[in-house]
Structure 1
Amino acid sequence: MSLFDTHRPLLDAALAALSDRGHWTPFPELPSPKVYGEHAQAEGQAQVEALLGQDFPLTQPGELGRIAPERSPWGVPLGTRYPECEPQALLTAAQAAEPAWQAIGPRGRVGVLLEALLRIHRQSHAFAHAVMLTTGQGPMMAFQAAGPHSQDRALEAVAVAWQAMSTVPEAARWHKPQGKNPPLVMEKRFEIVGRGVALVIGCATFPTWNTFPGLFAALATGNPVIVKPHPQAILPAALAVRVLREVLAEQGLPPEVVQLAATERPEFTQALATDAAVASIDFTGGRAFGQWLAANARQARLYAELSGVNTVILESTDAYRAMLDNLAFSLCLYSGQMCTTPQNLFVPVSGIATDEGHKRFAELGADLAAAVRKITQHPKVGPVVLGALCAEATLARLDQARAWAEEGRARLLLDTEPLPHPDFPQARTRTPLLLALEAPDETLLRQECFGPISFLVAVPDAEHAAALAERLIRSEGALTLAGYTTDPAFEERLVRLSLRARVALSLNLTHSVYVNQAAAFSDFHGSGGNPAANASYAGLAFVADRFVVVQRRWHVQPEMSATQPAAGA
């Protein structure tokens, strides 16, 4: 039985989930020993720790030496050494591997990818530990984001790719009546062909969740892939590349269909991105390099998720405490280092109506600060929810934001401070910084302050808040918009805003769903319609343009068989 046939039930279930858009996952998100095995967590951690300070077992063409650039935000020594390869050698090997990957067709590719994905799933604890060590995510978040949730997104991309490819028949008999004359008859074949080498550039904070959609979409549609991870988070990408290469080799396919481009040299990344052989680029990261790619890698289709200013509009609520708790958790989760974390919270200067009476702007700010402190000061909750700061640059942003308060441009509602971690005394940690802007300062609101920094912004009224939010989102981009209101008319105003600004809208979240979160098979991550992202995980447009259809045709006499003439005949 082929791998495709073996895994067909999983593919069919994923396709059904895409049509239904309800909750579905084949990968349990709780790391229960009953699901993953009694010793799975210990074995996964041991697998990763055996790689620390060692050469990662990966042999690729053009190796120039080994590099070990990762520095754990937890203060844990890492030291895994990865091959740094000459860019042209990787590109040449990828092009040489492409015909074999093309030849097995959509069914063959999907089967291989589903087999690899299930093997990745069985190593979920190893991926979780690798992501935790390299990114600063807390253990539970790392398990979910690096394990089941990333795997969901990979499966979603494969399913959408199959959905797109399966609309193209392999063959057709074209029969055109000619009246009294014999009909015109042609035999046609249609072949799905990838566009060429795909470059997938990963980010430091979510090295699997943001990498897997592009990686699996590109592979499924027939493209060899070079994975260029962020220097801070190579290990999770290397683990995935290793699994894919193992499955490829077992199937008699060239492992160079998937390669790892570990490097700290910007010129190596630029050489890969601008080479004529690279037909598509997936990128998650800052706007500056995203814009550089758009300007310089013109030969490639760019699927980019960039910076943005996520917004919350508070007009009224009938669940004040639950609203505060939900917002506070959103601000604390992974210390605000998510591309969906709220940054600008707009509140009418006169305050909002609530189930606890009218809350003025200053009172709401104090209550929100208290809700954040309730999380950060809980000894068992705070360290787990906040995790560690992935990059030292985030500390500089916090210092800059605190300076705005010292300069009088903002008022300090909640100061940031280190949060001691019981297991990692050297961890780089900070609690959220919350600033109040009594008058909107658009120079502050327009810039993404990545990390645990947010603004409570006083505006004349709710309508002004909606207009300002729309203007900022349309110019600067956003992945999320949240609103709190008990007024049906204003709710409709928020809906119209989200449609015009082309941004996902969450309304009145007060339970255990947060604006930061996006569920595969149900939520579209990014709309592709504002400057924060030009594509959406994992919509049809994100996948279908990664392949072309090449046809061939020939005449067939009505009474003859449809045997294809030999090449050159």
Structure 2
Amino acid sequence: MAHTLPPPVPGTHAEPARPAPRHADTLERARQTLRTRAHWSPYSEDPEDPRSYGPGAREAGEAAFRALLGREFALGQPGRDGTVGPAPETGGERSPYGGLLEVSYPHCDPDVLLPAMQAALPAWRDAGPRTRAEVCTEILHRINARSSEFAHAAVHTSGHNFLMAFHAGAVHAQDRGLEAVARALEEQTRMPASALWRKPMGDGRTLSIAKTFTAVPRGISLVIGNSVFPAWNAYPALFASLATGNPVLVKPHPAAVLPLALTVRIAREVLTEAGFPADLVCLAAEHTGEGLARRLAVRPEVRLVDYAGTTAFGTWLEDNARQARVFTSVSAVNSVLVESTGDYRDMLANLAFSVSLYSGQLCTSPQNLLIPREGIGTDEGHRSFAEVVADLGGALAELLDDDARACGILGALLGPAVRDRVERVAAGAAGPVAVPSRAVRDPRHPEAVVRTPAVVTLDADREADRAVLLSEWQGPVVFAVAVDSAAAGVELVARTTRECGALSVGLYSTSPQVEAAMERACAEAGVMLSANLMGDWYISQSAVYSDLHGTGMNPSGNAVYCDPGFVTARFHTVGVRRYGGSI
């Protein structure tokens, strides 16, 4: 039977210690930025910034990370009934760069853990939106101070290079978390907490009713992490749910537990210091093959589920976790139409970096490059389809010819499925290989599997080729697809987005008509369009507080980081009316 939450009753719970509003300015600036969509962040992107992180922060972070290895990760959660890890066969983590982390985590009985989380809810609910936002921002502040430690954890669980790990695995994830907190505060305070309602009665009297409005959380929030970007994908949900009053149970991917375990530990510490139950945030580590996410997702106590990962499991959650509001961010096939350009060399350099970054394992990585079969117009004259493909290969070679530099861009391949996909592509399983992938040796991590992108040529008119390009090929592979015309390319982008889902579409064109057609197609299909990106901004990047991640309009998922709907679905508003008489 589904559990329902009792309505808030003032005075029922002892008042917790209220934290001093030390983050009021940060929260207000974040709220303002959500309205203006301007550039801003309270978290420095420079891992060597001594003003933000102190001298020697990178080395100190690595030392802190290594101090966690080979040890038990204590959390003090109720219901402990075993240990997860440290070996992969028992749920432990293996670094994509080689070696076991050998960290063991507590395994907790849901029948004990979930009731403890429910018991923690009333005091947190009654604290109100502003106090919750302040506590959440303090959690993020503490996490930010340890960004280098988080970055090293992301390197060795997700295969990022250090700078990407520092950005996507630390400060940009923190930005996404703060964005969710600010959005939650904005939406919960949009309605006044109290109002005095007066109605003239027509006989000289005025009817008076005092009203209060309380944001009431839905219940326990289950956040199911992934191995690619565990923090970046989890923080919007974690902090949106927590800021709206919901306890949060974090179920990390078995291959990437550490970044989220650190997050949970810090959150529990801050909550305790602020006078709230630590069990508002808990970790659910699982044994190998346990299938814990499936079991937890259908528990009646779980009222919110957030998931980033495969379409198959996202669909399973939507079909089976009927008692919960399910948010998904799943597979995507991202396309770029190359029709013409006013800066051919810059375009090639931008595309080469975009398809290389993190070996094409980003959810926003471009996969299909659509090129008119008759070629494109450029500032260097006409270029045929074959010349564009060859020149892209040259740009990739120039970018990745030095192994040390290449490793800093590519990172390591995440797991056996990606490595197998690379081998299949090399053997011609996807189509003719125009630019082969090459093995890169990481001088610091000789066990890491690092590959440059392969460029495969396809023809949109061939049925077998369409089946390939209408599937997700996560990893270092890009398809150069011949299309009949710019209009055919626009139509194929729309079809791919509607059928497969997409998080990002790119366009290179000097034609206002082509740009307008693509803009209409993307609006109808529901995907963000990036036109003529050059220099140091790439299609795979997302500016927090400014860009929305996802639209909820295509099969890539229904979650949007971070529009109002992402937080308003996590609470309801309950009103109380008190008759004040008539005068």
Q: Does 1:163 align with 2:180?
A: no
Counterpart for residue 455 of structure 2: 434
The match for 2:80 is 63
Amino acid paired to 1:541? G
User: CA, structure 1 residues 4+495, in 2 after alignment: closer, same or farther (shift >3 Å)?
Assistant: farther
Tell me the equivalent position of 1:544: 568
Q: Is the 8 A contact 1:188 1:553 kept in 2?
A: yes
Question: 1:183 offset after TM fit, Å?
Answer: 3.0
| 2:409 is the alignment partner of 1:351 | no
| Structure 2 match to 1:44 | 61
Task: Point out where structure 2 has 5 or more consecutive residues left out of the alignment.
Answer: 1-16, 86-91
Q: Secondary structure at the match of 2:433?
A: strand
Range with bigger deviation, 297-306 or 394-403: 394-403
> Could you tell me whether the CA contact under 8 Å between 1:4 and 1:108 is conserved in 2?
no
Q: Is residue 2–residue 111 contact of structure 1 (8 Å, CA) maintained in 2?
A: no
Q: 5+ unaligned residues in a row in structure 1: which ranges?
A: 560-569
2:549 corresponds to: 525
Q: Are 2:48 and 2:57, in contact at CA under 8 Å, matched by a contact in 1?
A: no
**Cα displacement (A) at 1:551:** 1.3
Greater Cα offset, 420-429 or 31-40: 31-40
Partner of 1:207: 230
Which structure 2 residues correspond to residues 117-516 of structure 1 after superposition, within 5 A? 117-180=140-203, 182-263=205-286, 264-403=288-427, 405=428, 410-440=431-461, 441-516=465-540
Q: Secondary structure at the match of 1:390?
A: coil
Q: Which amino acid in 1 is paired with 2:28?
A: D
Cα shift readout 1:415-473 (whole Å, capped 9, x = no counterpart): 22321001101112222121001344221111111111110000111111111110111
Shift of 1:402: 3.1
What's the offset of the Cα at 1:357? Answer: 1.0
Report the more deviating stretch, 439-448 or 193-202: 439-448
CA drift of 1:6 comes to 1.6
Please state whether the residue corresponding to 1:147 is helix, strand or coil: helix
Give SS of 2:156's match.
helix
Amino acid at match of 2:182: A
- How far 1:4 moved relative to its partner? 5.8
1:3 aligns to what? 19
- Residue 516 (structure 1) shift: 0.4
- Report deviation, 1:266: 4.5
The 8 Å contact of residues 361 and 474 in structure 2, kept in 1 or not, is answered as: yes
SS in 1 for 2:495: helix
CA contact (8 A) 1:4 1:112 kept: no
Q: Which amino acid aligns with 2:158?
A: T
Q: Does structure 2 retain, via aligned residues, the 8 Å contact 1:205–1:390?
A: yes
CA distance in 2, matches of 1:18, 1:108: 20
3-state SS, counterpart of residue 380 of structure 1: helix
Q: Given that residues 48 and 58 in structure 2 are in contact (C-alpha distance below 8 angstroms), is that contact kept between their aligned partners in structure 1? A: no
**Matched residue, 2:41:** 25
Answer whether contact 2:93 2:101 (CA < 8 A) is retained.
yes
TM-score (norm 1): 0.95
Offset at residue 526 of structure 1 (A): 0.8
C-alpha offsets along residues 19-65 of structure 1, whole Å, 9 cap, x if unaligned? 11111111111112433211222221111111101000212122121
Contact 2:74 2:106 in 1 (8 A): no
CA deviation vs aligned residue, 1:507-556 (integer Å, no higher than 9, x gap): 01111000000010111111111111212101111111110011111211
Mapped contact 2:404–2:443 kept (Cα < 8 A): no
Q: Deviations over 1:373-420 (max 9, x none)?
A: 2222223320100010111110112223334x26xx621112223210
The one-character-per-residue Cα deviations of 1:333-374 (angstroms, maximum 9, x if unpaired) are 011110000001100001001111111011111111121122
Kept in 2, the 8 Å contact 1:72–1:133? The answer is yes
SS at 1:192 equivalent = strand
- CA displacement 1:145-178 (0-9 Å, x = unmatched): 1221111111100000011011121111121221
The amino acid of 1:137's aligned partner reads H
Identity %: 44
Deviation digits for residues 302-326 of structure 1 (CA, Å, limit 9, x no counterpart): 1110001100001001111111110
The code of the aligned residue for 2:22 comes to T
Q: 1:2 deviation in Å?
A: 5.2
Secondary structure of the structure 2 residue equivalent to 1:311: strand
C-alpha distance in 2, partners of 1:131/1:105?
A: 34
Distance in 2 between the 1:85 and 1:479 partners? 36
The 1-side partners of 2:564 and 2:193 are apart by 20
The separation in 1 between residues aligned to 2:132 and 2:200, in whole angstroms, is 38
Shift of 1:181: 6.4
Distance of aligned partners of 1:33 and 1:25 in 2 relative to their CA distance in 1, 3 Å threshold = closer
Paired residues of 1:87 and 1:268 also in contact (CA < 8 A): no
Q: Secondary structure of 1:519's match? A: coil
SS at match of 1:422: coil
Determine the C-alpha separation between the residues in 2 that align with 1:412 and 1:370: 15
The superposition leaves residues 61-95 of structure 1 with CA deviations (integer Å, 9 ceiling, x where unpaired) of: 22121112211000033110011112222211111
Assess if the C-alpha contact under 8 Å between 1:54 and 1:79 holds in 2: yes
The alpha-carbon deviation at position 240 of structure 1 amounts to 0.7
Total equivalences in the alignment: 556
